[in-house]
Structure 1
């Protein structure tokens, strides 16, 4: 399978520069925040979100080059994503992310929350300095969506009445909103047509939803080493994802286990076994493939280029992660 590193080859230099710039933008004046941010930036993330911004920006550029404002947009995108990770790990009481200790585990919840708040504030500051009101609105919406998604997830913990539609809405808020709106923002900064801006948005939405559904499948099929966190951790915390929702339609006893919040010895293991013995994972794979196919359709208007090809390959890569 093509590696994500090779997929991003057309923007490899852009991503290298981005990491160095982020360290300076985030922590130039605060050594504790710098240490917290550097710890996460160096934790081996794929930089998928800024890579998509770079690839789309180059794909829609008439000469294949990108402006300083596009670079800053990519940096803002990764700052917003990183800020959300600081907060997510505190809420989830996670000790490990990407195979390394989380910021809250290493520095404490107080520093992790403050680091997340600081990074959201920094992102907002640099966003305002792009001097483009439409882009400000798009990315501000993302920050609101993150909070909305986290609240929805918290309120629906172990709730067996959650619908697939609610799950997808939460998945949009927590994952797809940032990719979709930053993709559209790249088009706004390039002054492309409203129709093409919408295509960029829909591409990002499809990629984001496909990516989230695949992640939720891997929570049941991946290894702890590959996931960088314990397998089954979403279900254990009461986060009911697509494989669970589909499996409950076939396995009524799964609902019983979840409604008692997996509190009895062996409940988690039995629930995971029921999911594997259902069509939950297969149906979730079909759902992810449909979102990936939708995303691919929205690239059709872009001219042929190495960046467009990389974006097409990305939609395929996301699906192949499941196998």
Structure 2
């Protein structure tokens, strides 16, 4: 079936534009699923399976390390980043010149025809997936780790100069050190059932892939693995961020540092990054690897930029000095200079891109690259990667702006929680401590807008809210300003930009879900 489709596609490519080839592809695909009421609904089974099959990638030889690495993955999350990767994969697959080649590579790597990928996942058929084949000797790569494919019996034994055969017995391999860690099998398609079974106790979502879903026929295995890599990198950054920020909560539960200690959380984050790097290398695409690897540098750059705070020292000190002079002379405090405001917003948005939007933008672009859109393409097909990047960048900034708004709105929720019948506090609603940004000395969008309306905010920003009463005063100034509303308006502007860049994409349920996701991000309350 696949060979006949490939022959037809090759014949049409010579005499028909790519839009016709795309229509042919979608016509022959499985029945299109009904319109989803939520962006997540369209890929609900894929997202559930993705999370379950990700856990075996994080098994370690020490049970504590396994627990730390898997801790955040066992808690419910929005999964926005993998959702973006998979939706853009579905929306753009078939549009690039390299799509047929990518399909052929996937078929050879999985050992089953494209039409049978999802059925193989359910039945556990197929040879070892190419995404799990190591790029170096397996016993060298995993020596000594009982939770990864390895034929080294024990680290204390002499290491053979001859690589063991792939069919060697592993009876001498130590048993897993933690019964809660899913056993590693050779084929990720086979791991779907076993990983989902062992994860049922810790996850309320169903992990069984749908054999009738047409999505499995249009999303490549490499793109699914990319979504897992993106989620791993995001989670590793959370492990590190919670140490840096001394955060006691994450997603409504004790943070990893609170649960395991700062040192273990840092090491767990490093371990997750290591596993993500190995999975990334096996995607076999230099451009995608470069894109995702560069996100690591972006995350560090953003954290360093945040240490400097969103306002440069010179601008903040100048504003604070002007405030002190005005107070001494009994005059009205002057508004901040346009240069100071511009500098503050420039650094703030730059930090927002580096820490949040870069992973969404580059993950989205890498997904389109893995779908066969190449640099050599010209005309309309050359824009798909740029569309994906622009969507992820704009949506990522909108996402963080809303997050910064929620930090202030959660404070209001905490103030009135005693009057509410549900008894929920701001921390329970947001899933992290209320007012954390001010406590960390960070001036985010609402505070910067409040500074424009209330010059007294400048002195507080300059000293990073570190004097007694500074946090309460900053909260009051923000409440008396239009900072929260204006920040939401700015988030809406970025979300609308994300929606606008999708216009050239052909109509599809995935495109509709991407449009809906942009609206959902702005409206979220947690």
Post-superposition offset of 1:299:
1.2
Q: Tell me, yes or no, if structure 1 residue 216 matches structure 2 residue 407.
A: no
Residue pairs, 1:200-239, within 5 angstroms: 200-222=388-410, 223-239=426-442
Cα distance, 1:260–1:183 mapped onto 2, change above 3 Å? closer
Residue pairs, 1:1-323, within 5 angstroms: 6-62=38-94, 65-156=218-309, 160=316, 163-192=344-373, 193-222=381-410, 223-321=426-524
Contact kept in structure 2, 1:157 and 1:238, CA below 8 Å: no
Post-superposition offset of 1:195:
1.0
RMSD over aligned CA atoms reads 2.0
TM-score using structure 2 length: 0.58
Post-superposition offset of 1:33:
2.4
Separation in 2, partners of 1:114, 1:5 = 40
Post-superposition offset of 1:122:
1.2
Separation in 2, partners of 1:167, 1:264 = 22
Post-superposition offset of 1:69:
0.4
Q: Deviations over 1:48-85 (max 9, x none)?
A: 10011111111222485111101110000000000000
Higher relative helix content:
1
Post-superposition offset of 1:263:
4.0
Separation in 2, partners of 1:232, 1:259 = 18
Post-superposition offset of 1:291:
0.6
Separation in 1, partners of 2:290, 2:401 = 27
Separation in 1, partners of 2:512, 2:62 = 40
Contact kept in structure 2, 1:236 and 1:268, CA below 8 Å: yes
Post-superposition offset of 1:141:
1.0
Separation in 1, partners of 2:471, 2:265 = 29
Question: What number of residue pairs does the alignment pair up?
Answer: 320
Cα distance, 1:20–1:5 mapped onto 2, change above 3 Å? farther
Larger deviation, residues 204-213 vs 15-24: 15-24
Larger deviation, residues 282-291 vs 135-144: 282-291
Larger deviation, residues 181-190 vs 31-40: 31-40
TM-score using structure 1 length: 0.94
Cα distance, 1:40–1:260 mapped onto 2, change above 3 Å? same
Separation in 2, partners of 1:27, 1:105 = 21
Which has the greater radius of gyration? 2
Post-superposition offset of 1:264:
4.3
* Gap regions ≥5 residues in structure 1: none
Separation in 2, partners of 1:5, 1:309 = 10
SS of alignment partner, residue 234 of structure 1? helix
Post-superposition offset of 1:261:
3.8
Post-superposition offset of 1:286:
1.8
* 2:167 match: none
Separation in 1, partners of 2:461, 2:370 = 46
SS of alignment partner, residue 262 of structure 1? coil
Cα distance, 1:105–1:263 mapped onto 2, change above 3 Å? same
